[in-house]
Structure 1
Amino acid sequence: MMLKKMKPIFLFYTLFLGHLLVNDMKHFCTADLKRGYSLLQRGYRLEKHLITNLGGVSFLDCVEECLRRTRCLSVNYFQPAHFCEVNYKKKESLPDLYFAKGWYYSERDDWDKAIVGPCSNPNCQENEKCVPKALGAYTCEISDCGIPIIPMNKEGNAFGNIHDSDAIGIQRKMHFTCLDGYEKEGSEVFICQTNGVWKSDLKCNKKYQLPGCFVDDHNRVLESGPHSLQINGKSQCVSHCATLGSYRYFGLQVGTECFCGNEIKSTSQLAPPDDCKERTCFDNPDETCGGAWRIEVFLM
């Protein structure tokens, strides 16, 4: 008896859900796919510009994933494994593409946006993706963390050491390292958090050429100083010297003192290098700043 009463309700929901499915499919079926297929580049792949990748999907699912992500500009698709790569860049010229058997390359602008129905013209931010809902509605969700900005000292620099699997999507990671002439501080791995913000502590600090550790006296090794800094260290002393003029050398001494100069006093005597490691820098314990009457001199 209960089953008979439930049948009309079950039929209603079946018809209702079927209507939604047909409504969603209507957008897909009315989309013009001819242009996209005609512009496919077979045997090519754009490398190392991933937002994310997906396995076990069709080629059109791959295209749809790109169209729903604001930042996506192209896709790679590996037919034998039904594997999709969603890219945040597109080729500037054909040599940008890597020849790879079994791969297909396609660009976002080649496809009719009607494929994604309510997501064909969403008001989502650059780092968001459109998620379609029932009755033509959609929501915007965080998709990626964008291209990482390397946090570093103002004289520092860095460049990507990007791995094949690196991507900017949520819970993905990127690898970066410092340029020659810079010291790495922290991890080279950047992790994209669920809030769309990169997690990293990488800094690139300039390596200063070391003329040596010198014995100092009242006839100073470097002509300008001592200057007492609230926070002492290589970058702090360099910055302070820059405010005083144009100097070739800077020096650190007794933890708190910074010196600047264009010449090293000709009568200066070299001291053992360890003599200049006696004192940590004032309010900067990660660096050493010379010793008592021992100045560590660097080339700017």
Structure 2
Amino acid sequence: MVFHIIYLMWVLAFLPECRCLCSKPELMNVSPKGSSLGLGHTFKTFPTQSVLVCMDLCISYPMCRSVDLNREKSVCRLQVKSSVTDPDLLVATPNTIHMDKEDFPKILLDNACQTLSCDNMTMCKGNTGCIPVLDGRSCGSPPSVSNAAASPAGPFPVGHTHNYTCHVGYDSLHEPYTTCQENGKWTDVVFLCQRTSPKYTLLGCFEDSHYYVLESGPHSLLINGQRQCASHCDTLGSYRYFGLQVGSQCFCGNIMRNNPRELPATECNQPCNGNSGEECGGSWRMLIFSS
């Protein structure tokens, strides 16, 4: 908190736009330097390095709930969401400061725009009134994302946020949002749907022999591992178990034959072929999973 106060005092002391604030020193509540709402909630961007200009722009747009300012890139993003009402949206972002409209200095909020009650499609021009700058502007259908539910048909008004949902069997990566901007384009989509990693139950490390504990195999795989061996067994039939041995070998089976002796896990720690992040048994040592 002390760092925030020192940083904001520095901003107010050196920005020319701060003269009116310097006569009435007030503190702004900002997120730690290096935070933002990401890209998915922006409806308009402006080129500026000024904290005060960025906040003033947000005040003039009733749709704006917060700002993200990257002073290094001179980009001010006006957002349709705030971290006050949606704290889970705040993410770590280098060289960026996030500020919610609820926490702007009162001196900035004490202007004509606060009494005009302009609607979201307008821009407040102070004594001039509410100017309908966003009326009639829209975006088409949101960009499609592979393995996600189909995007709805447009058009959508400026400020509309689309929330992506992955198909069953896929996990979401990155922020699942895109917002219609005032230029008629959706914000860049960084969202991905990645196939859910199968969950296998490790039964243990077992001693093997020429009679083999599992009936199908060995199958030599150039790239071996839990997912690779399980997928290979699926192509051969319906099996309850799969086993990894001596780095490259994959076995499949419905019963564990020959009453194998269980061994310490340390005897099944040979790296998998082409997949050194996983262990694939050892010499006559089979790591067995139920699938």
TM-score w.r.t. the length of structure 2 is: 0.45
TM-score, normalisation: structure 1: 0.44
Larger Rg: 1
